[in-house]
């Protein structure tokens, strides 16, 4: 993996993807977008990966678009802009739909696409110095490719405000909006919070976690009708009938650890 994006997998199954461009505040360009896509695909295809941590080196999480990249975009045709946007959208969708739980560790600035990365993760832990901004309208753009994930995270009403005002959102306010899950006073506190989350995740059935995450993505914003009730009933029946479900229930009844806990 290119040094701009670092990738590793620990013995406990935690994959860590680190944005490593501190001098540019980990801003996006075409190469970084592709490298992130490759890293997420690598994790998705590795059955040993139980959870993924997305983090960044330096004072900022991700400042959005790289200035040199934005200069290039200024001369793009519509077709070039469309192809470019589809690459960003594909990368974000890959992160959003990874089969394992994902955690973002956020410090400093998370602007534009950086907010999108945070919104795509299942859990986000930020330090109090983190700040967020949907800044696209400041340069006559809109936060289009990140919008489905940000709207899902903070809701339509808040999105209408922050998509149009480009106000800077403090970590405390981001916590209240639901953009982040925990707000920690120090970097050390954030590391402790993430360690506790990973410990909790690794106690649970890997297949069940994946199916539970998919359940949220598939069943959200659907009417509670006969079709949805049937589907939810089918999913729990399949889970009960799975080898992992049977092992988990047996372990509970026999008062022992299930086989996925080392």
pLDDT at 257 over 80: yes
pLDDT at 262 over 80: no
259: in domain:
no
Burial classification of residue 45, based on how many CB atoms lie within 10 Å of its CB (0-12 exposed, 13-18 middle, 19 or more buried): exposed
pLDDT per residue over 85-142, tens digit each?
999 999 999 999 999 999 999 999 999 999 999 999 999 999 999 999 999 999 899 9
Q: Are residues 147 and 180 in the same domain?
A: yes
Residue 42's pLDDT band (boundaries 50, 70, 90)? very high
Q: Is 155 helix (H, G, I), strand (E, B) or coil?
A: coil
Q: Tell me how far apart the alpha carbons of residues 18 and 253 are, in angstroms, rounded to a whole number.
A: 41
Average pLDDT of the chain, as a whole number: 94
Cα dihedral 24, 94, 115, 102 in deg (nearest 10): -100
Q: Are residues 96 and 159 in the same domain?
A: yes
pLDDT above 70 coverage of the chain, percent: 99
pLDDT at 2 over 80: no
Full domain range(s) for residue 177: 5-201
So what's the pLDDT on residue 69?
79
Q: Are residues 30 and 144 in the same domain?
A: yes
pLDDT at 194 over 60: yes
């Amino acid at each position: 993996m290119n040094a701009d994006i670092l990738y590793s997998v620990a013995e406990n199954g935690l994959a860590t993807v680190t944005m490593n461009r501190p001098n540019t505040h980990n801003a996006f360009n075409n190469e970084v977008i592709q490298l992130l896509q490759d890293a997420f695909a690598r994790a998705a295809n590795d059955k040993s990966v139980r959870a993924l941590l997305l983090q960044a080196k330096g004072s900022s999480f991700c400042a959005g678009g790289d200035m040199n990249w934005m200069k290039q975009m200024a001369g793009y045709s519509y077709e070039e802009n469309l192809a470019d946007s589809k690459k960003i959208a594909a990368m974000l969708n890959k992160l959003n739909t990874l089969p394992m739980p994902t955690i973002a560790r956020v410090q400093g600035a998370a602007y534009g696409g950086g907010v999108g990365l945070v919104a795509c993760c299942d859990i986000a832990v930020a330090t109090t110095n983190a700040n967020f901004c949907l800044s696209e309208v400041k340069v006559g753009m809109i936060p289009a490719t990140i919008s489905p994930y940000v709207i899902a995270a903070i809701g339509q009403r808040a999105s209408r405000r922050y998509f149009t005002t480009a106000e800077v959102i403090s970590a405390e306010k981001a916590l209240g909006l639901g953009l982040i899950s925990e707000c920690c006073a120090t970097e050390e506190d954030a590391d402790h919070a993430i360690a506790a989350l990973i410990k909790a995740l690794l106690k649970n059935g890997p297949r069940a976690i994946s199916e539970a995450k998919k359940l949220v993505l598939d069943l959200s914003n659907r009417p509670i009708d006969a079709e949805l009730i049937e589907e939810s009933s089918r999913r729990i029946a399949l889970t009960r009938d799975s080898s992992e479900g049977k092992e988990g229930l047996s372990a509970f009844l026999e008062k022992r650890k299930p086989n996925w806990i080392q």
